[in-house]
Amino acid sequence: MLKHIIAGATVGTLIIGGTLHAQQPSRPAAGRGAATPAAPAAPPPPAPAPGSAATYRDADALMAVLQKSIAATPDMATSAVANTDQYRINVVHRGKPAGAIAHPGNTELHYIMEGSATVVTGGTIVRPAAGGANAATIQGGETRQVKKGDILIIPIGSAHWYKEVQSPVTYLEVRFVAPTK
């Protein structure tokens, strides 16, 4: 069980049961793909053992890391909450739209902490012949406006795209492998 307190408020309690494995950061996300393969990344640390104390991250420290990251890369920045061999949890900030992506093997939850955006989910990723990684779009998806307090649950391997950012959006991203039936 992970309880996260961000910006002085409890964001929520997340209980993850069963055996889970997070997507490893050894290759770029689908849709943003680089032409050159990434070097293999070191494996993430193991998740805490059952019966361990809760993982706690101080809100001020998380936001300080995020602000430093935003200063360096204002279009897309992150602050790690907990990234293990079973899950990846980050605070993500988007200053502008980016190309459509999908994460094979992972379900994601996005809890919108601040800002507003137009998000497209589902459908098919379309990559134009020219235009780079951020030019990928979604055909046939469902479009929604998201704002503070909204939650998106993006099923395993589903396309998603922050198509428009009306005001810089910050969200808690929880990525995990959903158990198969």
CATH number at residue 144: 2.60.120.10
The answer to whether the predicted template modeling score (pTM) of the entire model surpasses 0.85 is no
* Residue 134 CB neighbour total at 10 angstroms: 14
In a domain, 115, yes or no: yes
Positions of the chain with pLDDT under 70: 1-38, 133, 180-181
Please measure the distance between the N-terminal and C-terminal CA atoms of the chain and give it in whole angstroms: 22
| Number of domains comprising the chain | 1
pLDDT tens by residue, 56-65: 999 999 999 9
Q: What is the pLDDT of residue 37?
A: 57
Domain holding 87, by residue range, is 2-28+56-176
The first and second tokens of residue 8, run together, are 């002085």
